[in-house]
Amino acid sequence: MTKNENDDVKWKHSLYTGDGRFGDLSNSKQEVEDFAWPVVKGLLSSIPFTTGHGPFVICDYGAADGISSISLMKNCIDWVQKTYGENQQVHIIYEDLPNNDFNSLIGVVEGWRYDVPGSLLDQKNVFVTCCGRTFYKQCLPDASVHLGISLLALMWSSVCPDVTSSEVFSVHFVKGSPEHRVFEVQSARDWETFLLHRAKELVPGGRLAIQTVGRETCPCTGPGSDVWCMTRSMSDIWSDMMNEEYITEAEYLATIEPYYYHTEEALCAAFKDTSSPIRQSGLRLLAIETHNIKCLWRDRWMRSIKQDDAAAKKHALSFVQWIRTWSNRTFTTGLSSDRNSEEKENILDEMFSRLVDQVAIAPADRGYSRVDHFVSVAKIGEV
């Protein structure tokens, strides 16, 4: 395997957007305010910090273009400078994969993106840096981070587990099947790897706040409120395209989303055994909260005044554009390397245009409500 092929697999989940629109599309600003900020605020007040010992350091792991977390960062900066004085320096580190669109991120935080209200530009004594490295490695020096935040990024695995399945999304694997087991083991390993690296980076007394998607999100397996299953529909379209010979059976079978839906039990398990590497590293589970996150796309549609066919199509295009940002890469990676990029793009255009038609036909029944877990972790010790 060449280096490039290897990289392709490793970064299978990179976002399909070069125009800095992920945060605009992802629509998650409200849930950050409603759910993530209260968790983070609670953690901030328990971090042992005194002025005169350098900057207060916050790292956003899996930050994408920074749009979703910008208001959270501002809240953190305000909190720190109200508590420790306006001269207290704050260092914000935005971490993501090396192929992340860091240009857009800088555009957002430094205020070049005038369509994003409020950058960090006007915040005094605030310094921003970026780190392009997988969070499954140590990204920052030992004992250098006071608060680590990760919003909706931990679901992507470090590698695409080597399984063959007729399912594209692991959430549809039959529980207990060999492929389900492989994903379960990889998920536990990745969770532990992520935590062990953060254990090194956190100062004693530092805190972590992690938001990740729960398994109950899938209406096929959990008590979700959606009647339509987005991932099932995407798999079915992909399977139809195989039957219609747009793609081969080998390509269909090679398409697996390297993505986990976490369970509360699995997230807690790593902390339970007192002899586990996580406990030995000094990390302790403080709390885990689970919240239902309503689908803001459907919500927006339900509140829209104009609901004719043209409006439904426009709504569906926008909803599916967001779905495509995070899933395009997976479907492309399943396609044979004998195909040129134009061929691949045409196949993916066909796949997503079928999904647009599915959404447009009944927008009120097409949503992606989630059940998310918010995990609070502490590194024991005093500064």
Ligand X SMILES: C[S@@+](CC[C@H](N)C(=O)[O-])C[C@H]1O[C@@H](n2cnc3c(N)ncnc32)[C@H](O)[C@@H]1O
- Contact region for ligand X (CB under 6 A) — 13-21, 81-89, 216-224, 225-233? 13-21
What is the closest distance, in whole angstroms, from the C-beta atom of residue 15 to ligand X in the complex? 5
Residues sharing a CB contact under 8 Å with residue 270, sequence separation 6 or more, in sequence order: 188, 191, 192, 195, 276, 278
Nearer to ligand X, 117 or 176 (CB): 117
Q: How many residues bind ligand X (CB under 6 A)?
A: 22
By CB under 6 A, is residue 209 in contact with ligand X?
no
By CB under 6 A, is residue 152 in contact with ligand X?
yes
User: For residue 49, which amino acid is it?
Assistant: F
Closest CA to 197 of 155, 266, 141, 149: 141
Cα–Cα distance between 332 and 345 in angstroms, integer?
8
Residue 269: Cβ-neighbour burial (10 angstroms; 0-12, 13-18, 19+): middle
DSSP-H helix ranges across the chain: 3-10, 22-26, 29-31, 37-44, 70-84, 102-109, 178-201, 230-243, 249-254, 264-272, 277-280, 296-303, 309-334, 341-361
Kindly write out the interface string for residues 64-93 of this chain, putting x where it contacts ligand X by CB under 6 A and - elsewhere: x---xx------------------------
What is the closest distance, in whole angstroms, from the C-beta atom of residue 178 to ligand X in the complex? 25
Interface residue with ligand X, options 156, 169, 173, 259 (CB under 6 A): 156
By CB under 6 A, is residue 135 in contact with ligand X?
yes
By CB under 6 A, is residue 257 in contact with ligand X?
no
Nearer to ligand X, 62 or 367 (CB): 62
What is the closest distance, in whole angstroms, from the C-beta atom of residue 311 to ligand X in the complex? 26
Cα–Cα distance between 83 and 45 in angstroms, integer?
9
By CB under 6 A, is residue 20 in contact with ligand X?
no
What is the closest distance, in whole angstroms, from the C-beta atom of residue 36 to ligand X in the complex? 9
**Residues of this chain that bind ligand X (CB under 6 A):** 13-15, 23, 26, 28, 62-64, 68-69, 96-97, 100, 134-136, 151-153, 156, 326
